[in-house]
Structure 1
Amino acid sequence: MGDLRSEVFTLTTELDLAGPQERRARFPLGTRLLLAGELFTALGVGLTQPYAVVLLHDVRGLSLAVATGIWGLGPLTTIGGNAVAGPLIDRRGARFVMIAGLAMVIAGGLLLAYGPGLVSAVGGVAVGGLGWSFTHPALGTRLAILTPEQIRSRVYTIQYVFFNLGMAVGASIGGLVVAHVPPAGSEGSRTMPMLWAAAAGLSLVTITLAVLAGRQVSPGQTDEQAPRGGYRRAFTDIPFIRVIGTAALLSTVGYGIYNAVPAVMALAADDPAALSFASVANCAVIVIGSPLAIRLTERISARVALLGAAGLWALAWAICIPTALGTGLGTRPILICASVLIGAGELLLAGALPTLVNALAPDELRGRYNALSNLSLTIGMAAGPLLTSAAAAGGSVTTALYTAVALSVLAGALLLRPTGEINDR
């Protein structure tokens, strides 16, 4: 394990010594099936998640405040579920946990769409959030086990691109439905739940593909075979703690704050349409830039990729500061530029983070390591909007921008700081 710690932050430099055929190794069949399943899952997410509050408010008749509050329960159950998912993956196998998670996602979605009363709405969101907390780390674990180490970064980058592409297509289809069938009407009350039924069908396709991908780990472990130490071992792994600490900081900057600051800036400038242009620019960079990102991450270490993400995100928010102060470019062009930089950083992070996590993870604790990695991202996504809200309440969004730049610099410092266990050659 000591040798592994000394090499982890230069993991992908091994590709420079490999031949072209090794770099372009074909994905195993199981990997391709799981990636295809991710695309179907993302289509279902895009069909439903952007319109969940609309369903709760216009179809289920809940007030807007109650509807948004209920929808906010999802991330809370996800945070709690991650702690349970890790040991389950290590004991029962990633395929079992992934299928169980997708089954919960289906049940939660149908309960949310068709169940009666407030309790069913709360239960649907909670069950669905718990399902996602099982599915994501289980999928990350399965991809790591199935995929040769030298092409893992490419697989994780493609997974991220597929998810974004599927969400964009699904959201577009859902938007067409909402535009043509007003949710508040009687026809809308029948049509809107059908989006969740369609998403359930897509998740069933994903379950089928997950089963066909095969089992990559032993079916289970007895108590005597269970890994000793569990999460305690993971929390004493200093290189791993630094990686997930960096992930939490970067997630706050590139996901959480990005989900909130552009809206505040656009509304302050009385230009809400700027959000549409920024979103399109972000998605376009992720999809169009993915081939370049894949080639780049095959030639640089995962740590350098994370440093690149931190630098791009620091620059993205730094260029917004003059605009927020009223001395820079207009809000729309600056948000488009920032979204391009955010998207480029997302591509670098998508392949580098799970590659590092699974390089550090011992086989018997791989589920726990992936669950903690997923938890760090979830915490960052939750923290970003809270920081933005606090800044907006104080009357100045620039505080959130300065904070984002500072957190990016801190993430870079964590990656650069040497230790006795990590020798970055």
Structure 2
Amino acid sequence: MSESSVERPGVSEFWSSLSTEGRWLLSTVVVQTLGRGLTLPFTIIYMNEVRGISLDLAGLLMAFIAVVALAVTGPGGVLVDRVGARRMLLFSTSCQLVGCVVIAFATTPLLFALGFAFLGINFGVSWPAFNALVAAVTTGETRQQYFGINFALINLGIGVGGIIGGFYADVTDATTFTVIFLADAASMLVPILLLLGPLRHVQGLAERPADDDAPGSYLAILRQPAVVWLTALTFLGTFVGYGQIEAGLPAFARSVNEVSTRVIGFGFAVNTATIVLLQFVVLRRISGRRRTRVLVVMTALWAVAWLTLGLTGVVAGTLAAAIGVLAFNGVFALGETLLQPTIPAITNDMAPDHLRGRYNAISAGAFQAGTILGPVVAGVMIDHGWSWAFIAMIVAGCSAMAVLALVVERLITPAVNGIAGPAAPLTDPATGEQVVAD
């Protein structure tokens, strides 16, 4: 079957191909991420303007979340493989709930650090646990679509939550911030009840095959060239992408493009709207195509986005500069719709069932490292006035990503790369064991 001849599935086909467990897991995403959207854009404002914590200390406290997440990702991946994805996801979501409650009433840096530690545990453990659980209830092309649609729903929930939080939160009334963080905590009850109820039999746990005597340590996994290069690709994608979108982009837009904070806010709205509106359209277009080639297209889009942002810096403070910031967010978001379905799908199609937690933990660790290093580099370069060097570095990083994607293509099978190949074995969602289809 050629790439061009693959039938493009629609929404109804995707939904009908999902197991009951997959539908339950997907249908609650917007609700639980809406709570996250209520607080995500306003956490640092809450610390600084409501609780009186200086901006520099507030920034360090926010970075502490990623540091904790990076520290727990490795052990979390091992536990996912040993006790099951459902149990670990239940644990991590409970940590998120506790963290939000602590932050809701925090008044000192120490209490914020405690709350952020719980959030970091959730971020570090939930990635390998959730992805392993998704892989347990999906297979083949449905798995790639699932990751893409899940990403769109996350953005929808966060976007709607951000709008509601923006209207409700008031820096002159600390109670409003307490309420939105408690609402964030309450939204975690949705996945917790789901995991204790309809999904209680989905363990996301697979026994090691009797004929498999290969070591399953992180070191052994990282000795595989495909894993190494895919991990490098994930880190670089985070460094030039997500590591900059929350730090490098706002800093560049304010200090170089000289646009207002309102334009930056509208830019993030454009980003969210693009993902929500185009994700399923993109999924239909990339269905049956080489995932690595999709990643190459994504790197080209990101390079164009960053060049647009840099060039409009020449006309700083003008309408053209504002349009450049908005255009950046739209093009960058289009690239995101290509990234999110592909790397997680490659990772989980590559991973043996009994090591899925570790494989996803390696991917999550690369992501966390990129989100830590990206803002640091952006801050130093933009603060020193090296704006053109910053843009050049990001574009060079995008080019390096394209090269890495082609390297990965040579190291993985066609089936892992999303094109014709042997059918992936089905997995019993209750036991995680492979079954033979009739």
Superposition TM-score, scaled by structure 1 size? 0.88
> Is the partner of 1:417 in helix, strand or coil?
helix
Aligned to 2:217: 230
Map 1:112-191 onto structure 2 (within 5 A): 112-115=103-106, 117-178=108-169, 182-184=170-172, 188-191=173-176
> Is the partner of 2:288 in helix, strand or coil?
coil
> Is the partner of 2:188 in helix, strand or coil?
helix
> Is the partner of 2:400 in helix, strand or coil?
helix
How far off its partner does 1:127 sit? 1.4
How far off its partner does 1:383 sit? 2.4
How far off its partner does 1:47 sit? 0.9
Does the alignment pair 1:346 with 2:331?
A: no
Aligned to 1:193: 178
How far off its partner does 1:23 sit? 7.0
Given the alignment, which residue of 271, 279, 292 partners 2:259? 271
Q: 1:87 to 1:264 in 2, by over 3 A?
A: same
Given the alignment, which residue of 283, 286, 289 partners 2:272? 283
Alignment deviations for residues 80-106 of structure 1 (CA, whole Å, 9 cap, x no partner) = 111111001000000000000000111
How far off its partner does 1:375 sit? 1.7
Decide which moves more: 208-217 or 48-57. 208-217
C-alpha distance in 2 between matches for 1:215 and 1:228: 28
Verify the 8 A CA contact 2:270 2:329 in the aligned structure 1: yes
C-alpha distance in 1 between matches for 2:410 and 2:338: 27
Verify the 8 A CA contact 1:75 1:378 in the aligned structure 2: yes
Alignment deviations for residues 169-223 of structure 1 (CA, whole Å, 9 cap, x no partner) = 1111111112xxx333xxx22232111111111101111123322444476879x
Aligned to 1:294: 283
Verify the 8 A CA contact 1:297 1:352 in the aligned structure 2: no
Does the alignment pair 1:111 with 2:105?
A: no
Q: 1:421 to 1:118 in 2, by over 3 A?
A: closer
Residues paired across the two proteins, number: 408
Aligned to 1:413: 403
Verify the 8 A CA contact 2:159 2:269 in the aligned structure 1: no
Q: 1:284 to 1:90 in 2, by over 3 A?
A: same
Map 1:11-410 onto structure 2 (within 5 A): 16=6, 25-115=16-106, 117-178=108-169, 182-184=170-172, 188-211=173-196, 212-217=198-203, 228-268=215-255, 269-272=257-260, 273-326=262-315, 330-410=320-400
Decide which moves more: 32-41 or 247-256. 32-41
C-alpha distance in 1 between matches for 2:204 and 2:154: 28
Aligned to 2:429: none
Q: CA RMSD in A?
A: 2.9
C-alpha distance in 2 between matches for 1:93 and 1:418: 29
Q: 1:176 to 1:218 in 2, by over 3 A?
A: closer
Q: What is the one-letter code of the residue matched to 1:364? A: H
Verify the 8 A CA contact 2:378 2:390 in the aligned structure 1: yes
* Structure 2 spans left out of the alignment, 5+ residues: 420-438
Q: 1:260 to 1:362 in 2, by over 3 A?
A: same
How far off its partner does 1:29 sit? 1.5
How far off its partner does 1:241 sit? 1.6
C-alpha distance in 2 between matches for 1:395 and 1:210: 50
Q: What is the one-letter code of the residue matched to 1:242? A: W
Verify the 8 A CA contact 1:153 1:297 in the aligned structure 2: no
Verify the 8 A CA contact 1:257 1:404 in the aligned structure 2: no
> Is the partner of 2:370 in helix, strand or coil?
helix
Aligned to 2:427: none
Superposition TM-score, scaled by structure 2 size? 0.85
C-alpha distance in 2 between matches for 1:192 and 1:150: 42
Q: 1:115 to 1:348 in 2, by over 3 A?
A: same
Verify the 8 A CA contact 2:83 2:205 in the aligned structure 1: yes
* Structure 1 spans left out of the alignment, 5+ residues: 1-9
Q: What is the one-letter code of the residue matched to 1:200? A: A
Q: What is the one-letter code of the residue matched to 1:164? A: N
Verify the 8 A CA contact 1:42 1:163 in the aligned structure 2: yes
How far off its partner does 1:319 sit? 2.6
Q: What is the one-letter code of the residue matched to 1:66? A: L
Alignment deviations for residues 122-158 of structure 1 (CA, whole Å, 9 cap, x no partner) = 1111111111211122111110111022211110000
Decide which moves more: 202-211 or 350-359. 202-211
Q: What is the one-letter code of the residue matched to 1:241? A: V
Between the two proteins, what is the percent identity of the paired residues? 24
Q: What is the one-letter code of the residue matched to 1:298? A: S
Q: 1:421 to 1:199 in 2, by over 3 A?
A: closer
Verify the 8 A CA contact 2:73 2:125 in the aligned structure 1: yes
Q: 1:91 to 1:226 in 2, by over 3 A?
A: farther
Verify the 8 A CA contact 1:257 1:387 in the aligned structure 2: no
Verify the 8 A CA contact 1:227 1:365 in the aligned structure 2: no
